[in-house]
């Protein structure tokens, strides 16, 4: 009996050791899903175009920027549920679209700080639409938790995009925002090396290098800010935009037209909160 127990313990120990060895080997040589090794040129184009248009809108007027962010949010709402395989695509798109429109509008209304104080009202409206839609569904509400999670995630993304609007209130902050949009667009060009196995592990550094370089070029054209803040803004915003696209590129639906547009829109919206925090730290 004791011998049998010893053998079972040894087998369990060997199994745990082998699992640990596999985990360590995976950390040393990570295996990417096949989807993550395929270039997504449409997502690259969508990111570059959206970042360029939003940058121009930011220079033009806060209201124009809010309209541009709402449009980008609607693009995201159109493709987000399908990208994540939501069981309730219309309801998810509707709830995300409500926040996509109301969020930037709420951010542009206040004339004094805090400029984002009305954005939570837009989020509450979107959440209300999400839950009401779930209650009135007549399909048995399959995968309810997953559907709510997908919608909530989309609402969070478009809410982060509203952080771009307050940057128009200050000339120095606006310069950082223009640099950030340029960095987001430049970072997307690094995605084109996805199909090259030798360069694939270096995609994040490449994206950051492109973003930092774009930041320095735009700062030189604008006559400010200094090279340090410009490079820092470019590096961080490029890294975040790249990370958003890489996270989404492993989803099964990423090959579709809508999904790639949603990926590009998300990577243009999320860095807004990064440059907003940087502007508070660097500009005040």
Higher pLDDT, 245 or 88: 245
pLDDT, averaged across the chain: 87
Residue partners of 102: CB distance under 8 A and separation at least 6 = 121, 122, 125, 126
Q: In the prediction, which pLDDT does 31 show?
A: 62
Cα maximum dimension of the chain? 82
With 80 as the cut, is the pLDDT of residue 84 above it?
yes
Highest mean pLDDT among 22-31, 67-76, 111-120, 194-203: 67-76
Residue among 235, 227, 233, 236 at smallest CA distance from 210: 235
Could you tell me the two tokens for 48?
Answer: 């570059």
Lowest mean pLDDT among 32-46, 51-65, 119-133, 146-160: 32-46
> What 3 state SS string does 61-79 have?
CHHHHHHHHHHHHHHHHHH
Which pair of structure tokens corresponds to residue 39?
């270039």
Measured between alpha carbons, how far is residue 4 from residues 14, 80, 195 in Å? Answer: 15, 55, 52
Q: What gap in Å lies between CA 189 and CA 207, rounded to an integer?
A: 8
Q: What is the pLDDT of residue 22?
A: 65
Nearest to 266 by CA among 156, 191, 192: 156
C-alpha–C-alpha distance, residues 90 and 53, integer Å: 27
* Better-predicted residue by pLDDT, 35 or 239: 239
* The model's pTM: 0.84
What is the pLDDT, as a whole number, of residue 7?
46
Q: Which residue has the higher pLDDT, 139 or 180?
A: 180
């Amino acid at each position: 009996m004791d011998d049998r127990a010893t053998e079972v313990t040894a087998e369990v120990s060997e199994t745990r050791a082998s699992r640990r060895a596999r985990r360590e080997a995976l950390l040393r040589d990570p295996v990417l899903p096949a989807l993550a090794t395929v270039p997504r040129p449409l997502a690259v184009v969508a990111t570059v175009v959206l970042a360029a248009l939003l940058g121009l809108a930011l220079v033009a007027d806060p209201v124009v920027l809010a309209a541009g962010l709402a449009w980008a949010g609607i693009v995201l709402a159109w493709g987000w549920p399908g990208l994540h395989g939501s069981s309730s695509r219309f309801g998810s798109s509707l709830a995300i679209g409500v926040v996509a429109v109301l969020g930037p509008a709420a951010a542009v209304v206040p004339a004094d700080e805090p400029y984002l104080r009305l954005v939570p009202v837009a989020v509450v409206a979107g959440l209300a639409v999400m839950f009401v839609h779930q209650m009135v569904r007549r399909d048995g509400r399959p995968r309810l938790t997953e559907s709510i999670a997908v919608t909530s995630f989309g609402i969070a993304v478009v809410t982060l995009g509203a952080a771009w609007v307050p940057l128009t209130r200050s000339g120095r902050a606006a310069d950082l925002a223009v640099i950030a949009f340029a960095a987001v667009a430049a970072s997307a060009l690094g995605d084109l090396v996805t199909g090259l196995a030798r360069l694939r592990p270096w995609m994040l550094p490449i994206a950051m290098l492109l973003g930092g370089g774009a930041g320095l070029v735009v700062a030189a054209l604008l006559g400010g800010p200094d090279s340090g803040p410009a490079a820092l803004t470019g590096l961080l915003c490029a890294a975040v935009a790249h990370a958003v696209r890489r996270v989404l590129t492993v989803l099964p639906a990423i090959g579709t037209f809508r999904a790639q547009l949603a990926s590009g829109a998300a990577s243009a919206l999320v860095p807004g909160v990064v440059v907003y925090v940087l502007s508070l730290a660097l500009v005040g």
